[in-house]
Chain A
Amino acid sequence: MSEPTAAPKKSGGFRDLGKMFGSGSSGRQVGILGALVVIIIFFQVATGGLTLDPTNLINLVNQNAYVLILAIGMVMVIVAGHIDLSVGSIAAFVGIIVATSMASWHFPWPLAIILGLAMGFVIGAWQGWWVAYVGVPAFIVTLAGMLIFRGANQYFGNSQSVTVPDAYTFIGGGFIPDFGPNTGYSNGTLLIGLVVAIVIIVQEWRARRTQTEMGSEKAPLWVSVVKIVLLVAVVVYATLLFAGGRVGTSFPVSGIILGVLVLAYSFVTRRTTFGRHIYAVGGNWHAAELSGVKIKRINFLVMMNMSILASVAGMIGVARAGASGPGDGVGWELDAIAAVFIGGAAVAGGIGTIVGSIVGGLVIAVLNNGLQLLGVGIDRVQIIKGLVLLIAVGIDVYSKKQGRPSLIGMMTRNRRVQDGAQVGPQAAQPVDRPAVAPIDSAEESSRPKSTTPN
């Protein structure tokens, strides 16, 4: 489990919890975070301590970093009301070109990475153009892309593997280099853990200050203190685990890349106008268009961004394996999509967060890893993963039908009833024309039939 990257997520989840307790999506996020903790504890006990062993954790990060990177892009695509099935194939195609550029064309590895990113950019522009400007549903465009780029990978590489130079494998299998005095731990990892802990404290302090400035109700100070103590304890524990593994290992580079991307994209989706527009398009594109949002541009950028992240994931995958082959990236898109939906995104768009998707991805990752440690075969692992996806989304849909945001919403019902009492008198007043039979929830009936505008 990649604690230093998971830590800011947790802080996000809890901050939301404090800020808007009982609201649907954040409630769901907290719920899934709880599920993750339960799963980790379960496997830790069941495997006799193997789950939270340094070597295993490092493996876990390395094995899953690329799927989690895909989940970042995928949640944005799904929030905007689309889907992308082509990411695995794009990762494979970019991977083989990048590998070939180093092996046959003798590109230095930084140049190869730039080439890979450029390819993600071009492929993304191609797919985004079809989705946004031609108006072909993303499902079709990316289904085509899945075939095209899988074929391109095999055509280009003659269905054979291309090995990459050792220097390049650093981004997929490398570790933070050690330096300084011998402390018995990896100093680089310790430093990162320290930075993360400080960031958590500063964030919490800033959140409280913002709340003060907005004049909104604040959680009591002790809640913040407990929260900080809890999070910092997790970070310290994780840091010591990662830093205290076999000599020569520490926190993986792919985990660092993932962490940086999570922070950057969380900022983009939560704080920028572009991020707002993605949610607006996914929530109600008619309303978005009538509010001056350029929906074609948003759709284009979201699809393009996904392909760029797919190229990043592909390059990390190649670096980890040491070679690029014809079977790379098969099924990655499905793992990423599953992560996003377990993480609380809505199939119809408009709802979903980066942090939630990462937690959703970690649930799958820990499940995978733990079951394998227990010696459960890959066949049964798939069955269990499928059921987890189905049940997670099923609970969500069921609670929505019951008019409750989530399981967490049920637990916090007392508070919601109070709120209800405040808005109660007018909620009882007629809100609808009589001609509209009050069957569907407002949310459903208002949703445009197609979420893919032409």
Chain B
Amino acid sequence: MADEPVILEMRSITKEFPGVKALDRVSLTVRAGEIHSICGENGAGKSTLVKVLSGVYPYGTYQGEIIFQGHESRFKDIRSSETAGIVIIHQELALIPELSITENIFLGNEPRRFGVINWGEAKRRAIELLARVGLQDDPDTQVKHLGVGKQQLVEIAKALNKSVKLLILDEPTAALNEAESQHLLDLIRGLKGRGIASIMISHKLNEIEAISDAITIIRDGKSIETIDVTTDGVNEDRIIRGMVGRVLENRFPDRTPRIGDVFFEVRDWTVRHPLAAERLVVKNSSFTVRRGEVVGFAGLMGAGRTELAMSIFGRSYGTYVSGQVFKDGKEIQLRNVSEAIDNGIAYVSEDRKALGLNLLDDIKRSIVSAKLSKISRGDVVNDIEEHKAAEQYRKSLRIKAPTVNEGVNKLSGGNQQKVVLAKWMFTDPDLLILDEPTRGIDVGAKSEIYGIIRDLAAQGKGVIMISSELPELLGVSDRIYTIFEGAITNDIPIDRADPETLMKSMTSAKKKVTQP
């Protein structure tokens, strides 16, 4: 492979967002007809890199050079990169569900005769393209009737139509089942035979190991190394070491856990996808939480962590199939959010702007919004009580705002997150489920949030912490469950947990239970 000509060279790419260096002098070299994987933890900068490459972030918004097929390329948008032969297939598919396969393939690129779309020609070519990707469906089928796997193939057919030279696949198999994934990987190998290079981003290390010719590892926005698989060979452990190999900083508060008895238990929890009824997003999951314990949930994006948490929290996600919830030894029913709140469960969502806050509100209204009854007599809200309660949280959580009358949209991410935490602490929960509580906030605020978690556990509350950042999970948790493809794969006490062990259980279904 090493003697093939270089098709793409990204030289020293640096991309900054206000206050954050997302990419720091990242380099990437892809040879013709190569399958090149990019590996890294969530947030390492993989997606940013391919967005730079595909023109989502246009020339001028980053530093560095992109040399594609021997010329320096300055893409100003996705269209210009596509014209050059670089096509990106996103994790969220970009097809229009109401249009047919043919219409989708030729969208924005319709074959014309005398200015009118030549549908006959389009359909003929569509059938040809579908044959190349191995899809037997009628090209007139509406895309909404296809499963995710087949939609993926339509996307690739669309790319082939644009005479693609370099295909970028962002988590292509995340939503696919085993057989579909296999078909897709075979297809990518087949494209390689025709001289089409692919860049693949995937969390599934077994797939990467199986398919890649080269692997570039990115960590904290820097390219760490490129492994030439054809000459050096590779295994999952080798990749994991590259991905997590960093010194853990001591930014977690010291704490001596005082862990009590199991008070919260979920048994055999199974949930269906809200739209695709054949997909189970949570499968037979059982777990326990003790008083005063911080339980980590580790899993890669799309593993079903959020889905598990939200479905328990008043069935806010998907369709409930089976499972029981016990609190203090008694089975409880959590059919809607109010029942969950009344039973002392709180859920801090991973997307505080879309799901956690009404950004039109001020701090005090936000803090009391999940339990208005606490400061109301009858149905009338007591302004003074509200103000006092909010003021108390503003001080104790150190929310940086002049008054609690400040609009939450004016706060920084870290302070918004504190408001959301205050909102749920105000409901007097026994169990707090924190979904990515430190996502997108700066280091200082993160460590304050760890402090809040410690205090909550010290008060005897159970805390479930879902996080994509392994160092954070290792620093805060007393015990960690790993989740892979909707199922709990391991239950690891903190003294036996390390990044390698976690990553293994997060990327394969091999059940290796190490009971405490």
Contact = CB atoms under 8 A, between A and B. Distances in A.
A210 B17 contact: no
Interface in A425-454: 426-435, 437-438, 441-443, 445-446, 448
A279 interface: yes
Interface string B325-366: 000000000001110110000010100011111111110010
A287 B357 contact: yes
18 contacts: A20-B405, A23-B362, A216-B387, A276-B381, A288-B358, A289-B337, A290-B316, A290-B355, A292-B338, A292-B371, A423-B411, A426-B400, A426-B414, A427-B410, A429-B19, A434-B22, A438-B18, A448-B354
Nearest to B420: A287
A441 B360 CA distance: 12
Interface residues of A, number: 50
A289 B412 CA distance: 24
A76 to B, nearest CB: 15
Contacts of A287: 354-358
Given A287-B356, A290-B356, 8 more contacts: A210-B383, A279-B360, A287-B357, A290-B316, A292-B371, A430-B413, A435-B47, A437-B57
A308 to B, nearest CB: 18
A422 B402 contact: yes
Interface of B: 15, 17-20, 22, 43, 47-48, 51, 57, 313-314, 316, 336-338, 340-341, 347, 349, 353-362, 365, 369-373, 376, 379-381, 383-384, 387-388, 391, 400-403, 405-407, 409-416, 423, 439-442
A397 B387 CA distance: 31
A438 B379 contact: no
A442 B409 contact: yes
A163 B208 CA distance: 83
Nearest to B347: A290
B358 A427 contact: no
Nearest to A428: B19
B422 to A, nearest CB: 13
A351 B360 contact: yes
B353 A434 contact: no
A361 B349 CA distance: 40
Dominant secondary structure of chain B at its interface with chain A: mixed
A214 interface: yes
A284 B357 contact: yes
A443 B415 CA distance: 16
B382 to A, nearest CB: 9
A215 B403 CA distance: 10
Contacts, number: 154
Nearest to A422: B402
A284 B354 contact: yes
A273 B372 contact: yes
B407 to A, nearest CB: 7
A272 B407 contact: no
Nearest to B401: A423
A213 B383 CA distance: 10
A379 B406 CA distance: 45
B358 A435 contact: no
A314 interface: no
Nearest to B310: A290
A173 B426 CA distance: 51
A445 B354 CA distance: 8
Contacts of A426: 400, 412, 414-415
A415 to B, nearest CB: 11
Given A422-B402, A431-B440, A434-B22, A446 B316 contact: no
A405 B435 CA distance: 33
